[in-house]
Amino acid sequence: MPEVRMADVAQRAGVSLGTVSRALRGLEGVSVGTRDRILAVAAELDYVVNPEAAALAGRATGRVAVVLHDLPSWYCSSVVVGLERQLRPAGLDLLVRCVDDPDERVQFFATMPVRRKVDALVVVAIALTPPELAKLADAGVAVVAAGSHGDTVPYVAIDDVLAAQQAVNHLLQLGHRRIALLNTVAATDRAWQAQRDREEGYRTAMEMAGIPVDEELVVSWSGGSRGGAEGMDRLLSGRQLPSAVFAFSDEVALGAMRSLRRAGIEVPRQISVISIDDHPLAELTDLTTVAQDPEALGAAAGKKVLDLLAGRPPRDLGPFPTRLIVRGTTAPPLA
């Protein structure tokens, strides 16, 4: 039996190949009646979408790539979950690529846009360089940034400066003055936007409170719980301990608390700890944090992708909200 082609569906339904492609992928620009007719014909003919045929017919592949630096992390995986849930009903396949070292990143941006023929790319917590953006533009790939800000591509993100201020202001209101910053750097992107913004929020809150920042209390380390533990060890080796620590993320904070526990330092009686995220382990460990919703952020990135692929200006969703959740790791400093 000969293979049923998209052209066969188009001929039977009396529409163009492009209309069939958009209808089968759930994109905008097709009326409800036409979409229903196309779906009925496709079912009648037992037509199965071939991604490469769709690419030739509608100049679209039906594929979206997502690139990130740390897939196992709760934040990145949550963004991917939200993104996939938004794109799947539109018939778009998601290709996930983790670039956790500089060589992998160079290879990805050199080959992925052309070799895999994707329609769009979502970058998670990665700041694209001008050459990378130029490469994607030459390939005609729509780009959306999730979790980082950009002047040249649509993005969705929280206000990291504000989130950091929320965390530090909570410590200040409790009476803390020696507040440390346990920041992080991404292995593949040392100029990570969130890192800079959260440090800016920390310094702004301290300045507005009239408290000079002790630079010995500002530590940047690798991410994750191991980086948090190692960064906390650095703070513990200083001349004078902080009374509180603001950590870049919950995972960093959990590592920091492990080091404090091993050093026999009680949290929060001796040192308070606060961070950003509301990781599932934050509630389990009673960690005070500034909550965000990375799954919703991923879904919003998906909406912007759909807008771009449909030829619409991406909708303006604004900064995503954050909120302080006070738990058991923060308290007034010892007198």
Q: What is the pLDDT of residue 55?
A: 43
Instruction: Tell how many helices (H) and how many strands (E) occur in the chain.
Output: 13, 11
Among 295, 22, 309, 316, residue whose Cα is nearest residue 143 = 309
Provide the pLDDT for residue 270: 97
Q: Report, as ranges of residue numbers, the positions in the chain whose pLDDT lies below 50.
A: 51-59, 188-191
Q: Please give the mean pLDDT across all residues of the chain.
A: 87
> Smallest Cα–Cα separation from 174: which of 278, 260, 274?
274
β-pair type (288-291, 323-325): antiparallel
| Degrees to nearest 5, angle at CA 234 with 230 and 237 | 135
User: What are 181-224's pLDDT values in tens digits?
Assistant: 999 875 544 446 888 999 999 999 999 999 999 999 999 988 78
Phi, psi of 99 (to 5 degrees): -115, 90
